[in-house]
Each structure stands twice: as structure tokens, then as C-alpha cells.
Structure 1
Amino acid sequence: MITNTELEYKGDIYPSKIIKVIKETDSVFLYTDNDVILKLTVIRDSLIRFRYTTKGYFSRDFSYAIDPNQSHGYNELELIEDAEFYTIRTSKLRCKVRKSDVHVTIYDIDGNIILDEEIGFHWEESYAFGGNIVKMSKVSREGESYYGLGDKPTHFNLKGKRVENWATDQYAFHKDQEPLYKVVPFYVGLHNKTAYGIFFDNTFRTFFDFGQERRNVTSYWAEGGEMNYYFFYGPSMAEVVTAYTDLTGKPELPPLWTLGFHQCKWSYYPEAKVKEVTSKFRELQIPCDAIYLDIDYMDGFRCFTWNKDYFPDPKRMVSELSADGFKTIVIIDPGIKIDKEYSIYNEAVANDYFCKRADGPYMKGKVWPGECNFPDYTNPAVREWWAGLFKELVSEIGVKGVWNDMNEPAVMEVPGKTFPMDVRHDYDGNPCSHRKAHNIYGTQMARATYEGVKRFAYPKRPFIITRSAYSGAQRYCSSWTGDNVATWEHLWIANIQMQRMSISGMGFTGSDIGGFAEQPSGELFARWIQLGVFHPFCRVHSSGDHGDQEPWSFDDEVVHITRKFVSLRYQLLPYLYTMFWKYINEAVPMLKPLVYYDQEDPQTHYRTDEFIFGEQFLVCPILEANSQGRRIYLPAGNWYNYWTDEVVSGKREVWVATDYDQIPLFVKEGAIIPKYPVQQYVGEKEITEVSLDVYYKAGKEQSFLYEDAQDGYDYNKGRFSLLSFQFIGKENQMVLQKHKEGKFDTTYKTFKINLHGLPFKIKSVYVDNERRDPAALQWNGNSFIIEKDFSEVHITGE
């Protein structure tokens, strides 16, 4: 143990002894004789907030990250004092605070240490900025693992890594590069099969060190603000991730079409080029729901304008695209061109909506339009004004979604790539410098965009994507991982980033399929498609500098693979939509890393490649060129090879051979997978029948199917259909039970039941206790058709 005095030469300052304690409702205040106050707030029995001040009082409590609708409530809160410690006890935790130096140790109810401080809270006075550098160090135990922190392009387990959180435009970033576009200062620790989480809610530049500087120490610090963090206790990783996601919020359900396939490029113009691309998708029968317009659709890159040479009648074009099933998404950046002939610029100047330097003038920086000023999205009045600007785009022209880019905020031709640090922000009535507001600038822009698109898209649901984000941004938008590169290494990075983002609360995320910078080979593009269709947000995007990146830009085999896997995604839309329903209702991530799926198995703790898609698919992408298969780790249980129906037992590593048009893909035994017919776009066909792929298991398994009108808000009024299926497999028999909740009546009338792995020959079929003639069920080997309103199917064998 390093003592305080041994470190004082570094300029660090430490809390002294506690001289007073006050308990107020859900909080305990501990005061020291050198003006440190620790406010410990019990939010739930397994969720505690730790907030420190070094000045003898707390500033106004304000956070953009915390969902105002998140729930409070606990069963027990007791403050106990003994000679050396104060103990705060809940029904799940014991938090001991040492009187001599505010050292904190957290135990479970059985007295096992979950998290112990090393030095604990300390700080360094930052005279350059007049504040503190606030620091926290915890003990890192032997065998402890760490996960989370958003879009970090590094090994999934962060043990031995140091990372930085400062939203940065990193064109063509590489493996292990820091920092990137998003700031999610939340991690999950796992030790002795027990998980906990830390969310350091501080918007200044922050750092996390997981044993890199000192092997047995995990530390995090910020260049300003408060030491303000939340501790989540599992003991399962799933409970930690759910609690964090509940705290920072969940999105509303997106329109179903947003889960389809999207095509984008910098840039599709003029209108004839857009129509050429969309027509080719329909000609080749590759499903696609959205086409994107990058910055060249604008007049001189001025936001909310159109280049009339390229797009003479945008409303007509958008309407014609819509008639062919394509929703139009447009880009909007934060930089507003300094142009006195530009109405939006003049409105912002007239209302004083732009960010200012400390000595008064508007902050000026170069981006695509040239010299620009930038709205202060931390000002509620600016957000309201910005939201109103979407009226023409959305309600008049018919644009279906908006894509916010360059909102780190990115500035060209300056060393720091962003605003000067002396820029001032309103911060919702908490005035501050850009040092504090930088990391949430992009989120507040996305929030304002969301509020505008939602207002004018009503009664339909909005669709927003953002490049930069801070914790809580998932309440407003989806995201993508920024300007990646067309390399095999980036395919590996994309796979890890999606898993990391999913357990960091931001589930609706994807990568630029094929790579944004440079040109992929046909094989790399195909392998990326095979991964990308299993990510919640699925979009091809490229810079266009190195050639085209549509599926037909390669050879016929790539077209075949793209069609095959995108068609599979469209078949699985009801499964994916159900995943999303579970995410927004139960805060369950849509992608589950293997360690999340089975933290009891130490073999999962360092796995990076495989992940669980939803609840019942195991996906393992091919990440190397010229591969004819790969070794994968199957978690506990029995798994069906999706392509062959071969059953493989888990908790072991196996070699899986695959063809070029396949990847290792497995389905959990007992699963019931709903499938729609392949459509070229959502809503092309009325669904008249849904397939249920039933995978036999000796035992029980539960599956779900959530459906609604696929857009709009009637689902909030109970107009949804939630089917829960119970599979029961026994010797020579199987039972399929169905229960329905909700008032929505689906358009289809029948289910086609496809049986996989049935270990016996069928003797009889009973539907709701009535024996059915196989001919009446259109029996065909291992499939049959029954009415959708059945309650139970009972199959016996011989």
C-alpha cells in the first residue's frame, strides 16, 4: 500500500479525516476537515452514486447523461458507525468508509470485497484552468477483466490498456488509436465470477487505466469537474449492463424499415446517379430500404439547402424514390456557413445562437462550406430553433431520416481538430467552457435534430444517426463508428466495436460496411456484408475516392453473397425487431459478447470474435482472407449449425469449415426463430404467413415474437402483439405452446412450422387437443401449416 505522504511530491492532495456525517433521506454526506465532502446516494439497493467536492460545497447537480425518467427506490438504507468506519448498508451491499481518510470499500452482503480503493479519491489543483484534475484509483485484482467504454478499437478485454475519452474526428483511424468519436465513460469489471460497473459521469477529457501504468491498479481521472461516479453491482454482467442502460436511458422503438439494409456514399449526385443506384438494387433483387445523400446534395454545403443543378425538384425525387420503397436520408453538419445571403446564418446571428469565444466574438472555424460559425446546442433556445429548421426537409420534401456528422465537433486546419478551449457554452443554464461541453456537443446536436425530425415526421417515428456521442445519446439516435478503412484489420475492429457499444448502452450501432477509406477487395466486402447484416444498424458507406462500393462493383459472386445475406436479414426482421423490443423494454443488449452470455466460463473472458445475436444465434465472422473455415468457441449448450442442422455441443473450441458464401452461424437448441418472406423493402408485400423455425431440444426453451404496425405510436396504446413460445421436448414427443399479449392483429393468418432435428418419426399431431390429419396441415416432411391463433401443438412420435 502506497501512503499519502509518499505521493505528495507529485502535487496530489487527499481527503483528511471525517469530522461530520449527515444522513438525508437517500443520501449520506461525509465532511472532512480539509473541505472535502463525499455525498453517497443510494439510488437502488445495488446502485450507489459517489460525488465528491473539494471546496466545501457542491455546485448545481446537472447531467446530460442521466435519463430523467430513470427509476429510484431501494429496500434498505442504514448508516452504522464504529470506531474506524462508517458503514452504509443496503439489502445487497455494504459500503465502508474509513474515518481517517475517506477510503471506500464495497462488499456484498456475505462480506466479500467487490471493489476496494487503492489510493482512492485524490486531486491535483490545475492553476492553468482554475479547477482540479480529479482522480480515483482502485485495486485491480489478479485475474480481473474489464469491458465497455464505447467504440474503442482495441481488444475487447481492456485489461492492461489505457484509454482516453475526448470526442475526436479520426479519419482512417487504426487499431488501438485513441481517442475516437464517442465518449462512454462506463466499464464493467469482472472478478471471481462477480461483475460490477463504474460510470464516471464527467464530460471533461477523461482517462481510464486498467493496470497499464501500475499492474494492480485501475484508475480514472478527468481534467476538470467533479469526481462523480456510479457503482453498479451485478453479480451478473447482464444486471450491470441493464442497470447502466436504465440509468442513461433507452430509445423509442424505431420504424421497422430502419432495421433493413441501407446504401450510402460520399456522394450520390446528381439525381440521375441516385436513381441509377436504386434501380440497380431492384434489378438485382438485393433488398434495400434507404438511400443516403451526403454533403454534395446541398448548395455550397449550406445546411438545409439543395443544389438545384443536381436536384432540381427534391420533393418529386424523394416521392419517386419512396414509391420504389427507398427512404431518403440526408446529412446535416453543425457548421453554418458565414454568408449574409444565407437565411439560416442570419437567423442565428439575429438571435445570438452561435458559440462565442471567451472575449466575445463568435467562434469561427473551417469545415466543408469554408468559414463557419457553430450553434450552441447546449442552449435550449438553440435546440428549439434547430428543431424547427427540419420542417421543410421532413414534412414538405418527405425526407425520412437525418444523419449528423462532423459533430465532435470537427474543425479543419487546426491542430486540435476542434473548437478552441475558451469557447463558451450555455450548458442548459450552467455556463462553461468548451473543455466541459466538448464531449456532449454532438449528443446535444443529435438531441435537437431528433426533436425536430420527431415533430415533423409525426405520426411516424423519427430516425437519426450520429457520429459523436456521450453516454445517454442512445435516447435520441442511432450511431455508426466513423471513418474506418477497407482493411481486414478494420473488419476485426468493427466486430469488437459493435459488441463493446452494445454493452455500453448504445445498441443501435453499425460500421461503414466495406470500409469508408480506401477500396476493399470483393472478398473483404463480402465478408463485411456477412458480418454487417448481424449488426443492429446495417449500412454500406464509402468515400468514393477509390472507386464505387455497391455490391455490383465487384464480381457476380459478391452480388450473390450480398443478396443471400441481405435477404437473410430481411427474413430475420421479426427476430431483429423483437431484439429491439427487448432492448428498449428490458435494457438487454441486442448483441451479447460471449463473456456477457456466460461469465461463469473463463474461456469467454478473452474471446473477441464470436457473439450472440439476440438470444439464440451465435455469429462468428470470417476475418481473414482466403479462409475456408476457422476455429470458434461454442458457449455452453447445444447448437445447431444453421447451414447443415448438425448439432454441436458447446463449452469447447471447434473447427468449422465454411464456403465463401457462408460464415459459421449457429442456432441455440430449443429456439423458435420467426421469419418473414423476403421483401425488397419493408412494406413491399403484405405478410400472409410467418415461418417458425423450431429447433428440437430435450428440455424447455422460451422464445418471443414482437410485432406492431411497424411504425407510428399505437404500440404505446397496447396495439402490439407479443407472442411467447414455450418449447418442451421429451422422448418421442414435443410440445409448442403459445401465449399472446397485446391488441394488435397481424395481417397474416397462418404459421408455417419448420422442424429441425426432430429425433423421432412423427406419429400424430394435435392442435389444441384436437388430432389433425397431416394432409389438412399441408404436411411436407418436417414442415406443416397451422392457424396463427393456436395455443398448443403436441407432436408424438414412434
Structure 2
Amino acid sequence: MITNTELEYKGDLYPTKIIAFEHEVDSICFHTDNSVILKVTVLRDSLIRFRFTTKGYFSNDFSYAVDKSHSHGYNFLEVSEVEDYYQIKTSKVQCRIQKIDMRLSIYDLDENIILEDELGFHWEESYEYGGNIVKMSKASKDGECFYGLGDKATQLNLKGKRLENFATDQYAFQKDQEPLYKVVPFYIGLQNKKSYGIFFDNTFRTYFDFCHERRNVTSFWAEGGEMNYYFIYGPQMQDVVTTYTDLTGKPELPPLWALGYHQCKWSYYPESNLKEVAAKFRQLKIPCDALYLDIDYMEGFRCFTWNKDYFPDPKRMVAELAEDGFKTVVIIDPGIKIDKEYAIYKEALEKDFFCKRADGPYMKGKVWPGECNFPDYTNPAVREWWAGLFKELISEIGVKGVWNDMNEPAVMEVPNKTFPMDVRHDYDGNPCSHRKAHNIYGTQMARATYHGVKRFAYPKRPFVITRSAYAGAQRYTSSWTGDNVATWEHLWIANIQVQRMSISGMGFTGSDIGGFAEQPSGELYARWIQLGVFHPFCRTHSSGDHGDQEPWAFDDEVINITRKFVNLRYQLLPYLYTMFWQYIEEGIPMLKPLVYYDQDDIQTHYRNDEFVFGNQILVCPILEPNSVGRRMYIPRGSWYNYWTNEEVKGGKEIWVDTKFDQIPLFVKAGAIIPKYPVQQYVGELDFDELTLDIYYKAGKEKSVVYEDAQDGYDYKKGRYSFLSFQTTGKEKELIIQLHKEGKYDTNYSKYKINLIGLPFKVNTIEIDNVEVSFDRNTLEREGYLIVDKEFTSLHITGE
């Protein structure tokens, strides 16, 4: 056994014997004889926070990540003391804290161990910076798997990996490269069919080791700050993810157009070039809702300015694009050019809003405009000022969305690619160095941008996208996975990154379709668009220096594939919008890795490629060139091949044949998939019917459809439509029951019902217990019925 003396000799310090404790409402504090305090706070029966301090007191409790409105309150809390340990018991778990050394273990109510300390909390004094390097190590059992941590370019299961969290501008990053642009210090453990989560809310540079250094030990540590983590008990992964997402917050609904297809390049200019791109989309009938302007739209890369040579009348141009259904999104970076003639710079200087070095001068760094100063977005006054700067762009010119880039923060021509670590920040009244503020700088910029766009877009909804983010950024912004590369490996990476972001609370994410750096082949671009339309954020983006990457940069076959899949996305918009509603209402991730979908099936634990889009569509991208099919795993249950309507029983790996214009897509038996007609942009068409694809299943299945005005805030006043369908399939019967909620009346009056996989020939149809006549020829030949939307029960019987 290692003694405390030996460990101290190695440089690490540990809590010693507990000498006192006090219990106050939902918190219990334990004190050791070497001045360590552990504060345990029971937020919910399955959500417990652990805070350690070695100073004998706690610093101000402040977090940018935790949503102040998160739900908390427990059913049961009991604190007891036995000979060797203290026990904290809730209605879900029991936590034991050893008296001799403060190590803790967490059990379920049946005495099964969920998580236990190995060395537990320990620390090392940081003589270079002051404060502590804080460390935690947990015992890991054989067969335990680990998921989460947000944006990582590695396999979905993190077992055996060591990862680093430090927001970094990693242009053209590679597989397994660390660190990347985003910091989400949250992981999910799965062992013995039980799931738990750990959220280490510490904004310093952090590390996670999942049995990499030592086979049965998982550890996490930070270069400063507090050992402050939340334990979340499942036992289902769904419970862990929804609790974490509730803790760190959920976004508002985006406008529906933001879920359409977006086109971007570095850079579209002058105006005639942008107009050509817009015209080509409409000419080729490839739907598109948003066009982006990169840094070249500005005058000398100065934020909130326009290059009048390229864009002489931005308001007119934005209005003309809007008439054709295009929303304009513009880039805004944090670097403000040092230029005494530049109004934004002058105002920030006068108000003392720029970040400063430790000994007083403003932090100066090179980005696109040359020498820049940088606003301190951790200062509420700076955020308020920044929000106000969007008035002209949004309410006067008519820009519909803002794209924040370079906000890791990225600085050029310096070895560490970012601010010096001695830069000072306000941190909302908790002054600190850049070591602490670095990882949340991008999120606070996106937050200020969001409040500005929201203020001036009102009564419409805002759209903001950011490259860098910390846990909780999803409350303000969508994101993308950064500067990827046009390679097949990066297609594989993109698939995993977006799945991982989805179960890490940040659902509204996508990748640069086709790759940002280098030039994709037509085949790679086609395969990427086939994946990208199943990501919540869907945008083609390229660096432009290698040629064009619009769909028409490739041959007719690729153009046709792009059109086919973008059309499919636009048909599925009500399904995608419903996914988003469930994400913001219940914290349910929009994309579900197979392990999330069915954690009890051990076959899912190491699957990377397949995922469930929403609740009922299984997607598996083609990730290799010249493929005419692939092996894939079908989760348990019955599924229909989307292209052939052939039913497949799951729980096994199968070979799926595909053509170049297809990828393996399957729909869960019993599902009702809502579809709109294809539109060139959201809101282009008025239509009188909603298509419902109904996939027969013996037994029961529930499906839901959420709709509202597609923009604005009336949905918060109850003006939405929420349809709950229950299908019940029998040998010669199909019953569809419909329950409606909400005060929004949809434009359409009918459902076009496609019956798929019906095992009998239809004999009679009853609507609300009244037999109705139907077009037997159309039903037998085309497989569909037209039904008034006001029904509550549809009863189909067979011969």
C-alpha cells in the first residue's frame, strides 16, 4: 500500500483524515486535518456535484457552463455515519466517503458499484503560476467504455485514449490530432449495462486519460482552478445525456431556414460572383437557403464594415437575394484592427474594452487585418457593447445570421497560436489570466453576438455559428467542426465528430461538406453530401484557393446526386424540426450513436459509422471510394430499407448493396415519417397536404411531428402544432391514432398517407369509426391514401 508520505514525496499531495463535517440542506461539507474541504451538493437524485479546495475555503462559485435555469430538486436525501465512512443516499444512488483519506465511491441502491476513486482527488502545487494542478483518478473495470468529450477526431469509444482540451486553431487537422477547436469536458462511462457521466467544469487546459497510461485507471486533471465535477447517474445513456444537456442548457428553436442547405466559400466576392452562385442554385433546382460572406466582404478585414468596391450597396443586394429566398450570413472575427480612423476601434479604446497584458499594455496580435486588439468578452459591459454593434448589419442591412470564426482565440505568427497566458480577463467580476479564460473566450464572443443578433432580428429568431466553444455554448450558437481536409479519412472523422457533439450537448453541428482544405474528387463530394444532409447543420464550405466546390464544380452525375440528397433533406424538414424540438424540450440528442440507441447490445459499443437520425431513421455513410455497398450493423428490431422498402431484422451485421446515388438508409418499423414537398428554399411553397410515410409493424410504435410558424416566438405562447401518432399493427389490421396539442393551425388540410410494408390487401377503411370509401386503384397501384387532417383514428382492415 502506498502511504501519503510516499505520495507527497512524488510531488502529489492528498487529503488526509476527515475531522469534521456539516450538513446544510442539499450540501454536505467534509473537512480534513490538512485543510482540504470537500463540498458535496445533491442537485437531483441522480446528479451530484463534488467540489474540492485545498485552501481551507472556497473561491467564488461561478460557471459559464451551467445554465442557471437547469432543473434541480431531489426526492430523498439522507446523510449517515458508520465506522469507516460517511454515506449520502438519494432515491437513485448512495455515495460513500472514506474517513481516512476522503476517497469516495458511488453505488446504486442494489449495492452495485458505479464509480469509485482509485487515488481520488490529489494535487500538485504549481510553483510557476501559483495555485494547484488538480487531479482525479478513478478505478476502471474491464470492459468499461467511454464516450463524449465533444469535438474529437478519433473513434467514438475513447477507451485507451488520452485527450487534451485547449481550444486551438488546428487548420487541416489530422485523425487523432489533439487538441482541437472545442472544449467539452464531459464524458459518459458505460460498464455492466449501466451508464454514468462526469462533467469536469474547469476552464483551464484539461486532460482526460481513459486507461491509456494505466490499464484500469481513468483520470482527469487541470492545469489550474478547482477540482469541480458533476456526477450523473443513468443507468441509461439517454438519462445521462439529457441530464447533462439540461445542466448546461439548451438552445431556442432556430428558424426553419437555418436547417436548410447552406453554401459558403472563402470568399464570394464581388457582388456579381455571389449573385452568380445564387442564380446557379435556382437554375439547377438545388435547394439552398443561406449564402455566406467570408472576410473579403469587409473593408481591409475590419469587422462591421463593407468593401464598397465589391459590395457598393449591401442593403440592396441582401434584399435582392432575399427576394429569391436566400438569407445572407456574414463572418465576424474577434480581432479589431488597430486603426485610429476606424470607429469601432476608437470606441473600444475609449471605453477600455480590449484585453490587457499583466503589466498593463493592450494585448496585440496579428490576424487577417494585421495588428489587432481583442475585446474582453468575459466583461459584461463589453458583451453589451458588442451586441449593440450588430444594429446596422441586422436591422438596417438585413443580414440574417452571423458566423464567428478565429475565436479560440487564434493569433498568427506566434508559436502557441493564441494569446500570451498572462493576458488578464474580467471573467464576470472574477478577474483571472488567459490560462483560465482561454477555453471560454469563443463562447463568450458567440454569446455577445447571439444577444446582438437576437435583439435586432426580433421578432424573427437569430442564427449564430461559432468555431470555438466550451460546454454550454449550445445555449447561444450552432457550430461546425473547423478547418477539415478533402480526404476520405476526414469524411470518417466528420461522421464521428458530429455524433459525438450530439451526445455532448451540442446538437446543432455539422462539418464543412467536401472538406475545407484541398480539393475533393466528385465521388468524395457526393459521398460527403450524402452524409452532410443528415447532420443538423448542413453547409458546403471550402478555402477556395484550390478551385471551386459548389455542386456544379463536378460532373452532371454529382450534380444530380447533390440535388437528390438536398431534396431529401428538404422533404425531411418537418422530421428534422421535430428532432430539434425534442432536443430543446427534453435534451434528446438529434443524432444517436448506436451505443446510445441500444447500450444493452454489446455489439454497439465499438460501432463508429452508423447512427440514428432523430428517433427512426438509421444512416450509414459510404466512407471508401469505388464502393458498391458496405457491411453495417443493424440495431435490434425491424427496419425497412428506405430505397427498396424491404424489411430487415436487426441485431446483426449485414452487407448492404448501394449505388453511387444511394447510401444505406433504413427506417424503423412502425415509424411515421412526415415529409414536405421539395422547395427551393423554406417558405417558397404553400402546400395543401403533408405526406406521412407509414412503415407497418406488428405491435405498437409512437411517432411525433412538431410544427409552428417556422420563425418568430409565437411557439412560446402555445402557437404550435404537436401531433402524436400511435400505430398498432395486427395480422390484418392497422390502427393509427392521432392526438393533437397546441394552438397553431397548419396551412395544409390533408395527409397523403403512404402505406409501406402492409402485409395484407386493404378491404375497409374507417375514419373516426365511420367507414369511408377510398380509391382502391390508387391505393393498390400507388400505395397511398388522402385523408382529412382532422381525423383522430384511422382503422385499416384487410381481407
Shift of residue 10 of structure 1? 2.1
What is the letter of the counterpart of residue 95 of structure 1?
C
Q: How does 1:469-484 map to 2 (within 5 A)?
A: 469-484=469-484
- What is the aligned partner in structure 1 of residue 138 from structure 2? 138
Quickly say closer, same or farther: Cα 1:588–1:777, change in 2 above 3 A.
farther
For 1:30 and 1:674, the matched residues in 2 are separated by: 55
Aligned partners of 1:532, 1:2: CA distance in 2, in Å?
Answer: 52
Structure 2 residue 235 is matched with structure 1 residue 235: yes
In structure 2, the residue matched to 1:53 is 53
SS in 2 for 1:673: strand
Q: Supply the distance in 2 between the matched residues of 1:766 and 1:405 (Cα, whole angstroms).
A: 56
Residue 8 (structure 1) shift:
2.8
Q: Distance in 2 between matches of 1:760 and 1:718?
A: 40
The one-letter code sitting in structure 1 at the alignment partner of 2:543 is: S
C-alpha distance in 1, partners of 2:775/2:630?
Answer: 43
Deviations 1:112-138 (A, max 9, x none): 100010000000000111110000000
Letter in 2 for 1:528: W
Amino acid corresponding to residue 792 of structure 1 in structure 2: S
Residue in 1 that maps onto 2:771: 771
Offset at residue 102 of structure 1 (A): 0.2
Q: Which secondary structure does the structure 1 equivalent of 2:196 belong to? A: strand
Q: Which residue of 2 aligns with 1:795?
A: 796
Could you give the per-residue CA deviations for residues 410-442 of structure 1, whole angstroms, max 9, x where no partner exists?
Answer: 000000000000000000000000000000000
The alpha carbon displacement at 1:682 in A equals: 0.1
Report the equivalent of 2:580.
580
TM-score (norm 2): 0.99
1:2 and 1:119 in contact (8 A); partners too: no
For the residue of structure 1 that corresponds to 2:376, the secondary structure is coil
Residues 1:463 and 2:463 aligned together: yes
For the pair 1:32 / 2:32, whether they are aligned, the reply is yes
CA distance in 2, matches of 1:774, 1:688: 19
Structure 1 residue 776, shift from structure 2 partner:
9.4
Q: Confirm or deny: 8 A CA contact 1:777 1:785 kept in the other structure.
A: no
Equivalent residue, structure 1, for 2:175: 175
**Is residue 489 of structure 1 aligned with residue 489 of structure 2?**
yes
Are residue 717 (structure 1) and residue 713 (structure 2) matched? Answer: no
Determine if contact 1:779/1:785 at 8 Å carries over to the other structure: no
Letter in 2 for 1:637: G
Alignment match, 1:163: 163
The CA distance in 2 between the partners of 1:721 and 1:229, in whole Å, is 39
Structure-2 separation of matches of 1:732 and 1:746 = 33
Query: CA–CA distance in 2 between the matches of 1:84 and 1:755?
Result: 64
Gaps of 5+ in 1: none
Q: Which position in structure 2 is the counterpart of 1:549?
A: 549
Letter in 2 for 1:707: E
Distance 1:524 1:446 in 2: 32
SS of the equivalent of 2:203 reads coil
Q: Give the match's secondary structure for 2:726.
A: strand
Q: 1:340 to 1:627 in 2, by over 3 A?
A: same
What's the counterpart of residue 419 of structure 1? 419
Q: What does residue 748 of structure 2 align with?
A: 748
Match of 1:202 in 2: 202
Hey, what's the Cα distance between the residues in 2 that align with 1:256 and 1:651? 35
Measure the CA separation in 2 of the matches of 1:773 and 1:172.
61
Distance (Å, rounded) in 2 between the aligned partners of 1:255 and 1:687: 19
Which residue is equivalent to 2:787?
Answer: 786
**Do 1:700 and 1:726's aligned partners in 2 also have CA atoms closer than 8 Å?**
yes
Cα offset for 1:337? 0.1
2: CA distance between counterparts of 1:693 and 1:780? 16
CA–CA distance in 2 between the matches of 1:669 and 1:776?
A: 24
Task: Report if aligned partners of 1:14, 1:123 keep a CA contact under 8 Å in 2.
Answer: yes
Partner-residue secondary structure (3-state), 1:155: coil
The letter for the 1-side match of 2:599 is Q
Aligned CA distance change for structure 1 residues 572 and 777 (closer, same or farther; 3 Å): farther
Q: 2 CA distance for matches of 1:720 and 1:42? A: 36
SS across alignment from 2:322: helix
Q: Distance in 1 between matches of 2:77 and 2:31?
A: 19
C-alpha deviation, 1:688, in angstroms: 1.5
1:772, CA displacement in angstroms?
Answer: 1.0
Query: How far apart are the structure 2 equivalents of 1:427 and 1:518?
Result: 39
**Residues 330-369 of structure 1: pairs in structure 2 closer than 5 A:** 330-369=330-369
Letter in 2 for 1:790: F
Return closer, same or farther for 1:300/1:240 CA change in 2, 3 Å cut-off: same
Offset, 1:769: 1.0
Q: Quote the RMSD (CA, aligned, Å).
A: 0.8
Unpaired runs of 5+ residues, structure 2, are none
**CA shift at 1:140, angstroms?**
1.0
The answer to whether the aligner puts 1:187 opposite 2:219 as a matched pair is no
Deviation by residue 1:701-760 (Cα, 9 ceiling, x = unmatched): 000000000000000000000000000000111011111000000000000000000000
1:253 matches 2:270: no
- Tell me what 2:650 maps to: 650
Three-state SS of the structure 1 residue aligned to 2:546 is coil
> What letter matches 1:486 in structure 2?
A
Task: Tell me the residue number matched to 1:440.
Answer: 440
Task: After TM superposition, list the pairs within 5 Å mapping 1:376-391 onto structure 2.
Answer: 376-391=376-391
Q: What amino acid is aligned across from residue 790 of structure 2 in structure 1?
A: D
Letter in 2 for 1:602: I
User: Identity, % of aligned pairs?
Assistant: 77
Q: Per-residue deviation at 1:7?
A: 3.0
Partner Cα distance (1:3, 1:303) in 2: 58
The two structures have a TM-score, normalised by structure 1, of 0.99
**What SS does the aligned partner of 1:624 have?**
coil
Residues 375/31 of structure 1: CA separation in 2 closer, same or farther (3 Å cut):
same
Contact 1:777 1:784 in 2 (8 A): no
Give the deviation of 1:77 after TM superposition: 1.0
* CA distance in 1: counterparts of 2:674 and 2:605, whole angstroms: 31
Q: How far apart are 1:779 and its partner, in Å?
A: 4.1
Classify the secondary structure of the residue corresponding to 2:622: coil
1:770 offset after TM fit, Å?
1.1
For the 8 Å contact 1:42–1:49, the answer to whether it is kept is yes
**Structure 2 counterparts to residues 27-106 of structure 1, below 5 A:** 27-106=27-106
Number of positions where the alignment pairs a residue of Structure 1 with one of Structure 2? 798
Q: CA deviation at 1:780?
A: 5.5
Q: Which amino acid aligns with 1:797?
A: G
2:453 aligned with 1:453, yes or no? yes
1:13 maps to 2:1: no
Report how far residue 83 of structure 1 moved: 1.1
**1:633 maps to 2:607:** no
Is residue 207 of structure 2 the alignment partner of residue 212 of structure 1? no
C-alpha distance after superposition, 1:434-489 (max 9, x if no partner): 00000000000000000000000000000000000000000000000000000000
- 1:650-697, CA deviations, whole angstroms, 9 ceiling, x for partnerless residues? 000000010000000000000000000000000100121110000000
Partner residue in 1 for 2:316: 316
Tell me whether 1:612 sits opposite 2:612 in the alignment. Answer: yes
CA distance in 2, matches of 1:98, 1:611: 42
**1:5 deviation in Å?**
3.9
Q: Distance in 1 between matches of 2:536 and 2:373?
A: 34
- Distance, in Å, in 1 between the alignment partners of 2:546 and 2:150 is 29
SS at match of 2:52: strand
Report the CA distance between 1:202 and its aligned residue.
0.2
Q: Distance in 1 between matches of 2:117 and 2:280?
A: 60
Secondary structure of 1:766's counterpart equals strand
How far is the alpha carbon of 1:777 from its aligned partner?
11
SS of 2:274's equivalent in the other structure is helix
Give the Cα separation in 2 of the matches to 1:456 and 1:607.
Answer: 44
Question: More deviation in 725-734 or 6-15?
Answer: 6-15
1:138-158 CA distance string (max 9 Å, x none): 001100000000010001000
SS at match of 1:403: strand
Contact 1:765 1:795 in 2 (8 A): yes
Decide which moves more: 136-145 or 764-773.
Answer: 764-773
Shift of 1:6: 3.9
Letter in 2 for 1:549: Q
- What is the CA–CA distance in structure 1 between the aligned matches of 2:725 and 2:300, rounded to whole Å? 55
Amino acid in the other structure paired with 2:299: D
Distance in 1, matches of 2:630 and 2:72, equals: 47
